[in-house]
Amino acid sequence: MKKGIIRFLLVSFVLFFALSTGITGVQAAPASSKTSADLEKAEVFGDIDMTTSKKTTVIVELKEKSLAEAKEAGESQSKSKLKTARTKAKNKAIKAVKNGKVNREYEQVFSGFSMKLPANEIPKLLAVKDVKAVYPNVTYKTDNMKDKDVTISEDAVSPQMDDSAPYIGANDAWDLGYTGKGIKVAIIDTGVEYNHPDLKKNFGQYKGYDFVDNDYDPKETPTGDPRGGATDHGTHVAGTVAANGTIKGVAPDATLLAYRVLGPGGSGTTENVIAGVERAVQDGADVMNLSLGNSLNNPDWATSTALDWAMSEGVVAVTSNGNSGPNGWTVGSPGTSREAISVGATQLPLNEYAVTFGSYSSAKVMGYNKEDDVKALNNKEIDLVEAGIGEEKDFEGKDLTGKVAVVKRGSIAFVDKADNAKKAGAIGMVVYNNLSGEIEANVPGMSVPTIKLSLEDGEKLVSALKAGETKTTFKLTASKALGEQVADFSSRGPVMDTWMIKPDISAPGVNIVSTIPTHDPDHPYGYGSKQGTSMASPHIAGAVAVIKQAKPKWSVEQIKAAIMNTAVTLKDSDGEVYPHNAQGAGSARIMNAIKADSLVSPGSYSYGTFLKENGNETKKETFTIENQSSIRKSYTLEYSFNGRG
């Protein structure tokens, strides 16, 4: 079949009894806060305490269709008509409730407005005829593990330092001339330091928009802002997408647009996130990245809906899946979006090391950053220095240069202890437990090679140090080669109500080196290592930009299908394939997607739940196979049930 399209209809006659029979391996869905799928009447999504007179902000969705929704439905809609309908609804709402004030208004991918009002006035708002639904104005935060952020000095950074972009095939795409050139990528985040030397080439005269300060200067929150902490997250994300300097992002020639929707401390709300999505679509973005989220597992939150309609407008929306893993049902909005590409995080392949030194039988390698640092410790006589619990003050007045710090667990994170040791000049760290027994945690990406001990061995080691026995030799051997692994913190699906598989795809998200602002114009070269699904998502956004340049005629559905269809299946440390709700379709590979000669869309689908008590219940799912090659192809459909029916 040449350049053909085949559509298959799958019909299921299987009655799913998992919730009532307790079949092993199936986790029951938690109860949903959504009481009805009927959106013909005004409905409240989420938990809002409507018994208090305390003011709250809500997102109001109107029955009048947004520009994108009307377009998809083939209905006539215009900005003026929509504005008239929205004004009418606003006036009714303000008249119906006491002390209500309309804030932001939406029309492109969401029809409605945000409104601040006393919570106990919401029932009156629901009674307004024009209102379709009301959503809480929830808080969104950056999806990175802040306790594992590491600042890296300029002289320690090189284009090869971060292996993640080459790992997913960016370099191979560049060799073919696909660098994201001509593709606009919107960074909807904490803002971007667009004057960073590695990012200046990616921005034009128009930088984007700041929805926190309501101006056209979407920079990060600076140091000393009285409203809260400085930010660097959006700049890191932007660098992963498209940095073009000392560090190179996945799509180094892409054009960037910044939309600051998260303010001081990296926190923001629904009303600004939706506004950022709207503006990105209106500004002609081809791709948008949202490395942010909350813990609300529901497909119908306003932000998720906005992303669905952004996709219908031809903008590929990419979002982080969340950092609440490894349990199921932990994916949060907007990763719950039906259409957007939701991304889980992986750890790149690494070697596990075994270690022996002295008589400390509990010694194990907790983690490391670079394998060369581990090898530098091997079979060399090294001095040990006791440094309390590893806080900065514990290193004061001590010579750690070329030595290994010995610290006790407690008070601060393991990664902070390692960072403090490195700053003091240490080339390694031994951390011992503060409770009887061994430390269970393994932490990939410690800034210095870190060895963990039990409390008993740790106290014995400290006693030896106090007795003057300060020298030891570490013997380190590679014990096991691990392939790419799904990060434990990466949130898992499925999505509430729809039972959608999430994430859709996975990408590297552990110890990703990228650009960060220094907040010092005289020293603009800032770099740091972060981890989280926030770091995985921009790998996919960059990959989409590259693929979109290579395949300019592909639709958003085809691009999403290509990435998912050609992903590499991931296995855990025991060689078992990760569930799809952990890895999605697998780990993305850019060149596989570009070379795909067959596309199956959607890349995944769910039948939802089967709740009929007797007889058979029938559900249908349709998917499409497209032959992208110039030769005839035949396709065979195979499927199997895994015994849970």
pLDDT digits (tens, 9 = 90+) for 198-219: 999 999 999 999 999 999 999 9
Neighbours of 613 (CB within 10 A): 8
The superfamily in CATH containing domain 43-137 is: Peptidase S8 propeptide/proteinase inhibitor I9 (3.30.70.80)
Find the catalytic residue in 529, 534, 537, 587: 534
CB-count burial class (<10 Å; 0-12, 13-18, 19+) for 156: exposed
Instruction: Indicate the average pLDDT of the chain.
Output: 89
Q: What is the pLDDT of residues 584-633, one digit of tens each?
A: 999 999 999 999 999 999 998 888 777 777 788 888 889 899 999 999 99
- Catalytic residue status for 304: no
Q: Is the pLDDT of residue 84 over 50?
A: yes
Q: Which amino acid is at 37?
A: A
Tell which phi-psi region holds residue 632, choosing left (phi > 0), alpha (psi between -120 and 50) or beta: beta
Cβ 113 vs Cβ 125: under 8 Å:
no
**Band of pLDDT at residue 4, cut at 50, 70 and 90:** low
Q: Which part of the chain has CATH 3.50.30.30? A: 350-482
**Band of pLDDT at residue 29, cut at 50, 70 and 90:** very low
Cβ 390 vs Cβ 420: under 8 Å:
yes
Specify the pLDDT at position 8: 57
Find the catalytic residue in 143, 149, 189, 308: 189
d(CA 243, CA 542): 10
Domain 350-482 CATH class label: alpha beta
Cβ 70 vs Cβ 57: under 8 Å:
no
**Band of pLDDT at residue 150, cut at 50, 70 and 90:** low
- Catalytic residue status for 189: yes
Helix, strand or coil for residue 56? strand
Q: What is the pLDDT of residues 402-417, one digit of tens each?
A: 999 999 999 888 888 9
Q: Is the pLDDT of residue 580 over 90?
A: yes
- The topology (CATH level 3) of 141-348+485-595 is Rossmann fold (3.40.50)
Tell me the CA distances in angstroms from 71 to 47, 74, 113, 394, one per residue in order: 32, 5, 20, 63
Q: What percent of the chain has pLDDT over 70?
A: 90
Q: What is the pLDDT of residues 423-448, one digit of tens each?
A: 999 999 999 999 999 998 777 768 89
Looking at mean pLDDT, say which of 13-22, 536-545, 568-577 comes out highest. Answer: 536-545
User: Which residues neighbour 222 within 8 Å (Cβ) at sequence distance 6 or greater?
Assistant: 230, 519
Specify the pLDDT at position 297: 83
Q: Could you say which DSSP state residue 579 is in?
A: P
Q: Is the pLDDT of residue 11 over 90?
A: no
Q: Lowest mean pLDDT of 34-48, 140-154, 262-276, 535-549, name the range.
A: 34-48
Q: Which part of the chain has CATH 3.30.70.80? A: 43-137
Q: Which part of the chain has CATH 3.40.50.200? A: 141-348+485-595
- Catalytic residue status for 233: yes
pLDDT mean over 567-583: 94
Query: Which segments within 77-223 are labelled E, that is strand?
Result: 101-106, 112-118, 131-136, 139-142, 150-152, 184-189, 208-210
Looking at mean pLDDT, say which of 25-34, 161-170, 481-490, 558-567 comes out highest. Answer: 558-567
Q: Could you say which DSSP state residue 167 is in?
A: H
Tell me the CA distances in angstroms from 36 to 41, 124, 125, 304, 309, one per residue in order: 10, 19, 18, 18, 22
Specify the pLDDT at position 219: 97
Q: Is the pLDDT of residue 36 over 80?
A: no
pTM: 0.85
Find the catalytic residue in 196, 233, 236, 519: 233
Helix, strand or coil for residue 623? strand
**Band of pLDDT at residue 42, cut at 50, 70 and 90:** confident
